[in-house]
């Protein structure tokens, strides 16, 4: 079974039911039925074929959330074209890494595409597709067919494309429908970006697989959050911890009203601080359900929908997901002790695109090595305890220090650089740079250059000039000795 077969229960079974809402900038509310969505993605599928794209080709999209992005994604699924979403916050340098690696046959963008690749304009495609047939053309794809190539930057600072199959996404979506009791009666407010698996694999897929109604937003904007929640009255919401911190700014009375029509708030992509969970319960009358996943594995652990949602814990393995906690020698640790988390299951990706070495290193005994440390309680709840790597998570976006360090050391006045995460009340962590200067370093200029070369969430919030970086006897930088590094 492929994803389109899974979504057909909604497309074919609920053709005239309103599926999707979107509020235009001029505040008009537009709606689409499942039949509309099926038809427009069929048209685009014909157009992509007409323009020469074939099964197995890659199509990259550099688009913020919009309805056409959904149509393009479904058109890719229907034709076997690999969907390669690019983070719209990526600048030229980051985009070229992805383009060089994925070798897309086409790129779709809405405005300027920060790369020499001749991007197709989204509006042109939509306009042209209107003349194409809305009939479904069948592409015989089975569940093992790749569906998307989602890029994560790695510990080495280079980008790696995680190849996710239809089966990976289908098992993830079906698991979540069951675990979180999502049905067609739900109303999902989706403000997360569709270029990451949180928005795509959880948000979009749960909507289509359940046949519920979804309101899509271009992005989460805290100043408009209360207004949107009251306007749409969702029953279901997915967020990252930063979003929940922002939602606490909503006035108490409004928060209570929102809490009354809401069924479930889910949080993931970064650890949810216990004090935020507590404050949110106080404010909205809801205990946020925390879960744990990764781009490479989709969702692994979840607190129960019915039952104890334990503060600080990411819950228990989802159905079909096997979890191991191993010490540095590869032996299982006892309950209560910290080990590295390994996972196996139908949710786990096939491997990194064109990178056998990285794929081989990522698996041990068929289990994916997450790089996260965790402990299990005697009653089966897993609590994350940190990471093996120095990954920083800012606002739910992964930031690998190595990538920023490489960028900084390319600057003529920088001899050496180390980037660490500093705690931040709203974003969880933010990157902070320590640099050894070759000549005078102007922090303002440095920040400007970073803003041009790196996505906004990777720009260091401070630049500290130091005499030297602390190193151990082997010459390795001891990041924990840099102040601001606080775990």
Chain residues binding ligand MLC by CB under 6 A are 64, 88-89, 192-193, 196-199, 219-220, 222, 240, 242-243, 246, 268-269, 293-295, 395-397, 426-427, 456-457
Q: How far apart are CA 487 and CA 420, in angstroms?
A: 11
Cβ 222 to ligand MLC shortest distance, Å: 5
**Residue 224 neighbours by CB under 8 Å, 6+ apart:** none
Cβ 391 to ligand MLC shortest distance, Å: 10
* Reduced 3-state DSSP string for 452-472: HHCCHHHCCCCEEECCCCCEC
Cβ 219 to ligand MLC shortest distance, Å: 4
Q: Which is nearer to ligand MLC, 80 or 201 (CB)?
A: 201
Q: From 150, 441, 453, select the one nearest 295 (Cα to Cα).
A: 150
Q: Which is nearer to ligand MLC, 192 or 209 (CB)?
A: 192
Task: Find the length of the chain.
Answer: 487
Q: Which is nearer to ligand MLC, 367 or 457 (CB)?
A: 457
Residue pair 441/427 in contact (Cβ under 8 Å)? The answer is: no
Cβ 150 to ligand MLC shortest distance, Å: 8
Q: How far apart are the first and last CA of the chain?
A: 44
Cβ 51 to ligand MLC shortest distance, Å: 28
Q: From 77, 89, 111, 96, select the one nearest 5 (Cα to Cα).
A: 77
Q: Which is nearer to ligand MLC, 198 or 479 (CB)?
A: 198
> Which 3 state secondary structure label does DSSP give 269?
coil
Q: How far apart are CA 206 and CA 6, in angstroms?
A: 11
Query: What is the pairing mode between strands 29-33 and 120-121?
Result: unpaired
Cβ 89 to ligand MLC shortest distance, Å: 5
Q: Hey, which residues does 33 pair with through a beta bridge?
A: 18
Cβ 409 to ligand MLC shortest distance, Å: 22
**Residue 449 neighbours by CB under 8 Å, 6+ apart:** 411
Cβ 460 to ligand MLC shortest distance, Å: 11
Q: Which is nearer to ligand MLC, 145 or 459 (CB)?
A: 459
Sign of CA dihedral 44, 45, 48, 50: negative
Q: Which is nearer to ligand MLC, 48 or 420 (CB)?
A: 420
Cβ 11 to ligand MLC shortest distance, Å: 26
Q: How far apart are CA 233 and CA 245, in angstroms?
A: 20
Cβ 78 to ligand MLC shortest distance, Å: 24
Q: How far apart are CA 248 and CA 222, in angstroms?
A: 10
The token pair at 106 is 């086409």
Task: Report the residue closest to ligand MLC, judged by CB.
Answer: 395
* Reduced 3-state DSSP string for 26-57: CCCEEEEEHHHHHHHHHHHHHHHHHCCCCCCC
**Neighbour count for residue 168 (Cβ, 10 Å):** 28
Q: Which is nearer to ligand MLC, 41 or 394 (CB)?
A: 394
Q: Which is nearer to ligand MLC, 59 or 176 (CB)?
A: 176
Q: How far apart are CA 241 and CA 230, in angstroms?
A: 21
Q: Which is nearer to ligand MLC, 11 or 90 (CB)?
A: 90
Q: Which is nearer to ligand MLC, 34 or 284 (CB)?
A: 284
């Amino acid at each position: 079974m492929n994803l389109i077969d899974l979504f057909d229960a909604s497309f074919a079974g609920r053709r005239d039911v309103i599926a999707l809402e979107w509020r235009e900038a001029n505040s008009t509310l537009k709606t689409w039925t499942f039949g509309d969505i099926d038809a427009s993605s069929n048209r685009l599928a014909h157009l992509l074929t007409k323009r020469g794209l074939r099964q197995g080709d890659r199509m990259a999209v550099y688009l913020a959330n919009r309805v056409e992005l959904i149509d393009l994604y479904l058109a890719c699924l229907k034709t076997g074209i690999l969907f390669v979403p690019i983070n719209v916050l990526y600048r030229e340098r980051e985009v070229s890494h992805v383009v060089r690696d994925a070798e897309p046959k086409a790129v779709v963008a809405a405005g300027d595409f920060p790369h020499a690749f001749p991007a197709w304009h989204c509006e042109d495609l939509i306009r042209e597709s209107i003349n194409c047939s809305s009939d479904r053309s069948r592409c015989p794809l089975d569940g093992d067919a790749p569906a998307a190539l989602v890029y994560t930057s790695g510990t080495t600072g280079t980008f790696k494309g995680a190849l996710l199959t239809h089966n990976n996404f289908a098992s993830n979506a079906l698991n979540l429908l069951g675990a979180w009791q999502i049905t067609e009666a739900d109303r999902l407010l989706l403000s997360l970006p569709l270029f990451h698996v949180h928005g795509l694999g959880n948000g979009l897929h749960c909507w289509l697989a359940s046949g519920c109604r979804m309101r899509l937003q271009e992005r989460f904007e805290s100043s408009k959050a209360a207004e949107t929640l009251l306007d749409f009255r969702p029953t279901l919401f997915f967020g990252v911890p930063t979003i929940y911190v922002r939602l606490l700014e909503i006035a108490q009375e409004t928060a209570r009203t929102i809490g009354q029509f809401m069924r479930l708030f889910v949080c993931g992509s970064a650890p949810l601080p216990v004090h935020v969970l507590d404050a949110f319960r106080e404010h909205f009358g809801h205990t946020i359900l925390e879960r744990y996943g990764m781009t490479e594995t989709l969702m692994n652990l979840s607190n129960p929908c019915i039952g104890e949602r334990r503060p600080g814990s990411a819950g228990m393995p989802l159905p079909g997901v096997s979890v191991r906690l191993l010490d540095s020698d590869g032996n299982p640790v006892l309950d209560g002790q910290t080990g590295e988390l390994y996972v196996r299951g139908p949710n786990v990706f096939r491997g990194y695109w064109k990178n056998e070495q990285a794929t081989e290193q990522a698996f041990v005994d068929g289990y994916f090595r997450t790089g996260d440390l965790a402990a299990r309680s005697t009653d089966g709840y897993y609590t994350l305890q940190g990471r093996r790597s120095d990954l920083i998570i800012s606002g739910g976006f992964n930031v690998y220090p190595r990538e920023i360090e490489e960028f900084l050391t390319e600057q003529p006045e920088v001899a050496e650089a180390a980037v660490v995460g500093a705690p931040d009340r709203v974003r969880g962590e933010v990157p902070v740079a320590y640099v050894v200067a070759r000549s005078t370093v102007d922090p303002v200029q440095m920040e400007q250059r970073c803003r041009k070369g790196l996505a906004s969430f990777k720009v260091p919030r401070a630049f500290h000039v130091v005499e030297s970086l602390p190193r151990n006897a082997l010459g390795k930088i001891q990041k924990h000795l840099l102040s601001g590094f606080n775990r």
